[in-house]
Structure 1
Amino acid sequence: MFTISTDKALLDFATIHAYLAQESYWAQGIPEETVRRAIENSVCFGAYVEETHQQVGFARLITDHATFAYVCDVFIVPAFQGQSLGKQLMAAIETYLLPWGCRRWGLVTKDAHGLYEQFGFEVENNGRWMTRKFPDVYRSDGSPP
């Protein structure tokens, strides 16, 4: 019913950008050029309806292929949620990453803990995970963050 691919030639950029810029809670207003650069410099996973090749899901993986991998920009188009497609996407990422032997995989989520826990992710409360945030970097008024 669905296929997962890392072939960037299959990615539907319009779908990806529209979701990230308009529907995601983490990248509202993200410019097209920023998304293009992110895709170019990441391992990308597209989820497609097998019969029509319509892209209905996406995830990006930032990794050095040796010690660390960061999973981000994971989404399933709302009309296709609830069909275990998120699990299929994460299983494909896991299959891709395991042979590399990275000792740490990371991600940040506000609302999908249950999905990621199924793949061995744990919430860290030890105070070691640190971030530096620039929450207004995609402001449309052009002012600096």
Structure 2
Amino acid sequence: MDSAAVDARAPADACGGGYQLLEAVPDAATYRHLREAAGLSPKTEEAARRGLAGTLFAVLVREGGETIGMGRVIGDGGSFYQVVDIAVLPGHQGKGLGKRIMAAISGYIEREAPPSAYISLIADGDAQHLYSQYGFVHTAPKSVGMAMLKH
């Protein structure tokens, strides 16, 4: 079920255990599968297609020919960046792959985001510990996240 769109800007990076990390945007089917299998909210085909087109940066983790993890950065490319879609298939969790994804995203942000850029994410459950390792802190009480989901 995998035919990720490869971004030719960066070669694959071996991340141990037979895994490879590469800068690439997943196709809509792979994206939807990873989100649902990793316990993130499902997205329609249309939402996935439109959203993926707005990706500033993305990484995939592959094992053999299968994409088993991903992470993306979206935003306006100047003032605002949001880290989204950090997902690793359950059978591959606990192997440091989330850290590899976040390290690649952090490298992108360090290289590309100008001073004063606001970088945000929504941390679900246990993932807060992972994100704090990359400099993310709680914004409350100064600000709190709010969301709206279109049904």
Report 1 or 2 for greater relative contact order, CA contacts < 8 Å, sequence distance ≥ 6. 1
TM class by smaller structure: 0.7 to 0.9
Asked if structure 2 preserves the Cα contact closer than 8 Å seen for 1:12 and 1:55, the reply is no
Compared CA separation, residues 83 and 12, structure 1 to 2 (3 A): farther
Q: Which has the higher strand share?
A: 2
Compared CA separation, residues 47 and 22, structure 1 to 2 (3 A): closer
Structure 2: gaps (5+ residues): 1-15
Report the Cα distance in structure 1 between the residues aligned to 2:100 and 2:38, rounded to whole angstroms: 21
Q: What corresponds to 1:123 in structure 2?
A: 138
Report the Cα distance in structure 2 between the residues aligned to 1:75 and 1:87, rounded to whole angstroms: 11
Q: TM-score, normalized by length of structure 2?
A: 0.75
Asked if structure 1 preserves the Cα contact closer than 8 Å seen for 2:38 and 2:90, the reply is no
Aligned-residue sequence identity (percent) comes to: 25
Shift of 1:68: 1.9
Report the Cα distance in structure 2 between the residues aligned to 1:7 and 1:18, rounded to whole angstroms: 16
Q: CA RMSD in A?
A: 2.0
Deviations 1:97-117 (A, max 9, x none): 112234321000221100001
Runs of 4+ in 1 over 6 A off after TM superposition: none
Q: What corresponds to 1:44 in structure 2?
A: 58
Q: What corresponds to 2:119 in structure 1?
A: 105
**Count of aligned residue pairs for this structure pair:** 130
Report the Cα distance in structure 2 between the residues aligned to 1:65 and 1:4, rounded to whole angstroms: 23
Structure 1: gaps (5+ residues): 138-144
